[in-house]
Protein backbone atom coordinates (compact mmCIF):
# COMPACT_ATOMS: atom_id res chain seq x y z
CA UNK A 1 0.00 0.00 0.00
CA UNK A 2 1.06 3.57 -0.52
CA UNK A 3 3.55 5.04 1.94
CA UNK A 4 1.79 8.39 1.65
CA UNK A 5 -1.13 6.99 3.64
CA UNK A 6 0.32 7.18 7.14
CA UNK A 7 -2.52 5.14 8.57
CA UNK A 8 -2.08 2.33 6.09
CA UNK A 9 -0.90 -0.95 7.64
CA UNK A 10 2.88 -1.15 7.35
CA UNK A 11 2.89 -4.94 7.07
CA UNK A 12 1.73 -4.77 3.47
CA UNK A 13 3.11 -1.36 2.53
CA UNK A 14 5.02 -0.70 -0.68
CA UNK A 15 8.21 -0.09 1.33
CA UNK A 16 7.87 -3.44 3.09
CA UNK A 17 7.09 -5.12 -0.22
CA UNK A 18 10.36 -3.83 -1.66
CA UNK A 19 12.25 -5.13 1.38
CA UNK A 20 10.67 -8.54 0.90
CA UNK A 21 11.56 -8.53 -2.78
CA UNK A 22 15.18 -7.81 -1.91
CA UNK A 23 15.25 -10.62 0.63
CA UNK A 24 13.41 -13.18 -1.47
CA UNK A 25 15.17 -12.56 -4.79
CA UNK A 26 11.95 -11.42 -6.48
CA UNK A 27 10.39 -14.81 -5.69
CA UNK A 28 12.71 -16.46 -8.18
CA UNK A 29 10.67 -15.08 -11.06
CA UNK A 30 13.27 -12.73 -12.55
CA UNK A 31 15.28 -14.70 -15.05
CA UNK A 32 18.98 -15.24 -14.28
CA UNK A 33 18.98 -12.82 -11.31
CA UNK A 34 21.07 -13.84 -8.28
CA UNK A 35 19.34 -13.05 -4.98
CA UNK A 36 22.42 -11.16 -3.78
CA UNK A 37 22.29 -8.84 -6.80
CA UNK A 38 18.60 -8.18 -6.32
CA UNK A 39 19.04 -7.49 -2.62
CA UNK A 40 21.54 -4.79 -3.51
CA UNK A 41 19.46 -3.27 -6.27
CA UNK A 42 16.25 -3.26 -4.25
CA UNK A 43 17.69 -0.59 -1.97
CA UNK A 44 19.02 1.54 -4.82
CA UNK A 45 17.09 4.59 -5.98
CA UNK A 46 15.01 3.82 -9.02
CA UNK A 47 14.01 6.50 -11.51
CA UNK A 48 11.18 5.29 -13.73
CA UNK A 49 11.63 6.40 -17.29
CA UNK A 50 8.04 7.48 -17.81
CA UNK A 51 5.00 8.64 -15.90
CA UNK A 52 2.41 6.00 -15.00
CA UNK A 53 0.07 5.18 -17.87
CA UNK A 54 -3.56 4.04 -17.63
CA UNK A 55 -3.91 0.31 -17.12
CA UNK A 56 -4.48 -1.51 -20.41
CA UNK A 57 -7.61 -3.67 -20.33
CA UNK A 58 -7.16 -6.90 -22.22
CA UNK A 59 -9.18 -9.97 -23.10
CA UNK A 60 -9.43 -12.35 -20.16
CA UNK A 61 -8.27 -15.95 -20.42
CA UNK A 62 -9.49 -17.41 -17.13
CA UNK A 63 -11.33 -15.08 -14.76
CA UNK A 64 -14.67 -13.41 -15.31
CA UNK A 65 -14.81 -9.65 -15.78
CA UNK A 66 -16.10 -9.18 -12.21
CA UNK A 67 -13.35 -11.39 -10.76
CA UNK A 68 -10.70 -9.59 -12.80
CA UNK A 69 -11.91 -6.20 -11.55
CA UNK A 70 -11.53 -7.33 -7.93
CA UNK A 71 -8.09 -8.78 -8.64
CA UNK A 72 -7.00 -5.57 -10.38
CA UNK A 73 -8.04 -3.60 -7.29
CA UNK A 74 -6.15 -5.97 -4.97
CA UNK A 75 -2.85 -5.90 -6.85
CA UNK A 76 -3.10 -2.10 -7.10
CA UNK A 77 -3.05 -1.93 -3.28
CA UNK A 78 -0.37 -4.59 -2.75
CA UNK A 79 2.18 -2.72 -4.89
CA UNK A 80 0.56 0.69 -5.46
CA UNK A 81 1.36 3.55 -7.75
CA UNK A 82 2.96 6.34 -5.72
CA UNK A 83 5.82 8.84 -5.72
CA UNK A 84 8.24 5.99 -6.45
CA UNK A 85 6.53 5.37 -9.77
CA UNK A 86 4.00 2.95 -11.27
CA UNK A 87 3.08 -0.25 -9.47
CA UNK A 88 1.54 -3.67 -10.00
CA UNK A 89 -1.47 -2.34 -11.87
CA UNK A 90 0.61 -0.69 -14.59
CA UNK A 91 2.92 -3.71 -14.63
CA UNK A 92 -0.14 -5.82 -15.59
CA UNK A 93 0.30 -8.19 -12.67
CA UNK A 94 -3.41 -9.11 -12.80
CA UNK A 95 -3.05 -9.97 -16.49
CA UNK A 96 -0.09 -12.19 -15.65
CA UNK A 97 -2.16 -14.01 -13.01
CA UNK A 98 -5.20 -14.45 -15.26
CA UNK A 99 -2.98 -15.79 -18.04
CA UNK A 100 -1.03 -18.14 -15.75
CA UNK A 101 -4.25 -19.60 -14.31
CA UNK A 102 -4.70 -21.38 -17.65
CA UNK A 103 -1.22 -22.92 -17.34
CA UNK A 104 1.30 -23.27 -14.49
CA UNK A 105 -1.05 -21.77 -11.88
CA UNK A 106 -4.10 -23.75 -13.01
CA UNK A 107 -4.28 -25.56 -9.67
CA UNK A 108 -4.85 -22.19 -7.99
CA UNK A 109 -7.93 -21.29 -10.03
CA UNK A 110 -10.48 -22.68 -7.51
CA UNK A 111 -8.76 -20.74 -4.73
CA UNK A 112 -8.98 -17.54 -6.77
CA UNK A 113 -12.64 -18.02 -7.68
CA UNK A 114 -13.72 -18.72 -4.11
CA UNK A 115 -11.26 -16.26 -2.53
CA UNK A 116 -12.20 -13.29 -4.70
CA UNK A 117 -15.89 -13.91 -3.97
CA UNK A 118 -15.19 -14.23 -0.23
CA UNK A 119 -13.12 -11.04 -0.20
CA UNK A 120 -15.84 -9.09 -1.98
CA UNK A 121 -18.47 -10.43 0.42
CA UNK A 122 -16.30 -9.45 3.38
CA UNK A 123 -15.82 -5.95 1.95
CA UNK A 124 -19.59 -5.53 1.67
CA UNK A 125 -20.29 -6.85 5.17
CA UNK A 126 -17.50 -4.90 6.89
CA UNK A 127 -17.38 -1.70 4.81
CA UNK A 128 -20.81 -1.59 3.18
CA UNK A 129 -19.71 -1.73 -0.46
CA UNK A 130 -18.03 -4.05 -2.98
CA UNK A 131 -14.24 -4.04 -2.77
CA UNK A 132 -13.82 -2.19 -6.07
CA UNK A 133 -16.07 0.63 -4.83
CA UNK A 134 -14.15 1.26 -1.61
CA UNK A 135 -11.61 4.04 -1.22
CA UNK A 136 -7.94 3.13 -0.82
CA UNK A 137 -8.02 3.38 2.99
CA UNK A 138 -10.94 0.97 3.29
CA UNK A 139 -9.43 -1.40 0.74
CA UNK A 140 -6.24 -1.45 2.82
CA UNK A 141 -8.28 -2.21 5.94
CA UNK A 142 -10.06 -5.11 4.22
CA UNK A 143 -6.78 -6.56 2.95
CA UNK A 144 -5.23 -6.25 6.40
CA UNK A 145 -8.11 -8.23 7.90
CA UNK A 146 -7.71 -10.83 5.17
CA UNK A 147 -3.98 -11.11 5.82
CA UNK A 148 -4.53 -11.45 9.58
CA UNK A 149 -7.27 -14.09 9.27
CA UNK A 150 -9.87 -11.72 10.69
CA UNK A 151 -12.01 -12.26 7.59
CA UNK A 152 -13.95 -15.53 7.60
CA UNK A 153 -15.65 -17.64 4.92
CA UNK A 154 -12.33 -18.32 3.19
CA UNK A 155 -11.08 -21.83 2.42
CA UNK A 156 -8.75 -22.87 3.93
CA UNK A 157 -8.39 -19.39 5.46
CA UNK A 158 -8.05 -15.76 4.41
CA UNK A 159 -4.32 -15.52 5.17
CA UNK A 160 -3.61 -18.33 2.71
CA UNK A 161 -5.54 -16.49 0.02
CA UNK A 162 -3.75 -13.20 0.74
CA UNK A 163 -0.32 -14.82 0.65
CA UNK A 164 -1.14 -16.55 -2.63
CA UNK A 165 -2.26 -13.33 -4.31
CA UNK A 166 0.69 -11.37 -2.91
CA UNK A 167 3.19 -13.94 -4.20
CA UNK A 168 1.59 -14.00 -7.63
CA UNK A 169 1.43 -10.20 -7.70
CA UNK A 170 5.17 -10.08 -7.08
CA UNK A 171 5.71 -12.61 -9.86
CA UNK A 172 3.57 -10.59 -12.24
CA UNK A 173 5.36 -7.37 -11.37
CA UNK A 174 8.98 -8.55 -11.38
CA UNK A 175 9.14 -11.58 -13.69
CA UNK A 176 10.38 -11.56 -17.26
CA UNK A 177 7.81 -9.64 -19.36
CA UNK A 178 7.56 -12.65 -21.66
CA UNK A 179 5.15 -14.17 -19.13
CA UNK A 180 2.60 -11.38 -19.42
CA UNK A 181 3.52 -9.05 -16.57
CA UNK A 182 6.24 -6.48 -15.87
CA UNK A 183 4.86 -4.36 -18.72
CA UNK A 184 7.33 -1.78 -20.03
CA UNK A 185 9.83 -3.22 -17.53
CA UNK A 186 8.07 -1.34 -14.73
CA UNK A 187 8.97 -3.94 -12.12
CA UNK A 188 12.63 -4.06 -13.06
CA UNK A 189 12.83 -0.25 -13.05
CA UNK A 190 11.26 -0.22 -9.59
CA UNK A 191 13.96 -2.38 -8.03
CA UNK A 192 16.80 -1.14 -10.23
CA UNK A 193 17.33 -4.44 -12.04
CA UNK A 194 18.99 -3.76 -15.43
CA UNK A 195 17.95 -6.98 -17.15
CA UNK A 196 19.63 -10.20 -18.25
CA UNK A 197 23.19 -9.83 -19.50
CA UNK A 198 24.99 -12.44 -21.57
CA UNK A 199 28.26 -10.50 -21.24
CA UNK A 200 29.36 -8.47 -18.22
CA UNK A 201 31.90 -5.74 -18.91
CA UNK A 202 34.68 -4.69 -16.50
CA UNK A 203 32.72 -1.50 -15.80
CA UNK A 204 29.66 -3.55 -14.88
CA UNK A 205 31.74 -5.73 -12.55
CA UNK A 206 33.26 -2.72 -10.81
CA UNK A 207 29.76 -1.54 -9.82
CA UNK A 208 31.06 2.03 -9.93
CA UNK A 209 27.78 3.16 -11.47
CA UNK A 210 24.40 1.57 -12.15
CA UNK A 211 24.45 -0.46 -15.36
CA UNK A 212 22.35 0.80 -18.22
CA UNK A 213 19.01 -1.07 -18.43
CA UNK A 214 18.85 -3.39 -21.44
CA UNK A 215 15.02 -3.46 -21.56
CA UNK A 216 14.74 -6.83 -23.23
CA UNK A 217 13.31 -10.20 -22.32
CA UNK A 218 15.60 -13.15 -21.74
CA UNK A 219 13.65 -14.83 -24.53
CA UNK A 220 14.96 -12.27 -26.97
CA UNK A 221 18.22 -14.20 -26.72
CA UNK A 222 18.56 -17.16 -29.09
CA UNK A 223 19.90 -19.42 -26.32
CA UNK A 224 16.55 -19.37 -24.47
CA UNK A 225 13.76 -21.49 -25.91
CA UNK A 226 10.18 -20.19 -26.01
CA UNK A 227 8.79 -23.69 -26.41
CA UNK A 228 6.10 -24.39 -23.82
CA UNK A 229 6.52 -20.97 -22.25
CA UNK A 230 3.52 -19.14 -23.65
CA UNK A 231 1.61 -19.28 -20.39
CA UNK A 232 4.25 -19.28 -17.71
CA UNK A 233 7.57 -20.48 -16.37
Return per-residue pLDDT of the chain as tens, 233 residues: 544 444 444 444 554 555 455 434 443 443 333 333 333 333 333 344 344 455 556 678 899 999 999 999 999 999 999 888 899 999 999 999 999 999 999 999 999 999 999 999 999 999 999 999 999 999 999 999 999 999 998 999 999 999 999 999 999 999 999 899 999 999 988 888 887 777 777 776 777 777 777 778 877 776 666 654 444 44
Q: What are phi and psi of 23, to 5 degrees?
A: -75, -35
Q: What is the dihedral of CA 212, 217, 218, 221, to 10 degrees?
A: -90
pTM (predicted TM-score) = 0.72
Q: What are phi and psi of 179, to 5 degrees?
A: -85, 0
Q: What are phi and psi of 82, to 5 degrees?
A: -155, -160
Amino acid sequence: MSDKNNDAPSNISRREMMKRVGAAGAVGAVAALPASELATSAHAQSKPSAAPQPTLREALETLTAAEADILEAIVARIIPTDDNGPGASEARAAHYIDRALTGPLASSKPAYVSGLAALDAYAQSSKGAPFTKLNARDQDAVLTDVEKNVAKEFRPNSAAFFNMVRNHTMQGTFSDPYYGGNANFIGWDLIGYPGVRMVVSPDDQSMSKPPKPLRKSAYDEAMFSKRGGSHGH
